[in-house]
Every structure is written in structure tokens, then in C-alpha cells.
Amino acid sequence: MKRVGFILLLVCVLGGTAVRAQQPPSRPWHELSPEEQQRAWENYQRYQQLPEHKQRSLGERYQRFQALPPQEQQRLRQNYETYRGFDPGQKQEFGQKYRRWKSQR
């Protein structure tokens, strides 16, 4: 019984390592392209204007986002691009739907 437990634990550890290994490592600043640096810098300035609790919340979300499998991260990026492509009317409608959806949860 102990042996089975040990094997299961080993499988979990190795499995977790394999999943983490699939995720691209976080790139340092100097490896970002100029466009990426520009984007990060602009967003950093916006971030600085946020209250502390929101900054903390974003840090937590970042941890959560990083823990997601690459396919899921890609899906979220695609969804964001779709959202960005919305015209103002569509954005407004999406906002209404979001509030409705949230109230129904």
C-alpha cells in the first residue's frame, strides 16, 4: 500500500514538473522587443496610478495567469484580441452581458 502511495506521489510530482516545463519561462526585460518594452512601460505607468489593493490583486491574478497551461493563456489572449476588436456598441453590449452573467452566477 505504501509503495502504491509513493508511486502516485511520484507521478504527481513528475507530472507537475512536466506541465511547468511546457510553460515558457518569464523573459527578462532586455529580451523583450522594443514594442513589448513600450507596451510594458505604458502599462507600468497605468499600474502605478492604481490603488495598492488593486495592484496586489493584479499581482495575484498574474500568478494565477502564469499557472495556467499555455493553451489556456493563448485562449485568453485571443479572447482579449476579439474584445479589442469590438466597436463601442459591442463593448457596451458585452459589458451589459457581463453584468447580467455575473448577477446570474
Partner 1 sequence: MRCRRAQRWMVATVDGELAPRRRRMLEGHVASCPECRRDLAGTGAVLERVAGLGMECEVPSRLEQATLRRIRLLAAAEEERTAARGWWTVFRAPALALATAAVAIAAVVLTRGAGDRLPVASRVVGQRRVAAEALARERSRMVASREGGAVRVAKNIPAEPPPELAAAPELFMELPILRNLEKLEHFEAIRTTTLDDGGAQSNG
Backbone angles phi, psi at 19, to 5 degrees: -65, -45
Rounded Cα distance, 92 and 105, in Å = 20
The stretch near partner 1 (CB under 8 A) out of 1-9, 10-18, 23-31 is 23-31
Per rule CB under 8 A, is residue 29 in the interface with partner 1? yes
Q: Which is nearer to partner 1, 14 or 55 (CB)?
A: 55
Per rule CB under 8 A, is residue 5 in the interface with partner 1? no
Rounded Cα distance, 45 and 36, in Å = 14
Q: How much is the CA Rg of the chain, to the nearest whole Å? A: 20
Whether the Cβ atoms of residue 60 and residue 20 lie closer than 8 Å to each other: no
Per rule CB under 8 A, is residue 9 in the interface with partner 1? no
Given the rule CB under 8 A, which residues bind partner 1?
26-29, 32, 36-47, 49-50, 58-59, 61-62, 64-65, 76-77, 79-80, 82-84, 87-89, 91-101, 103-104
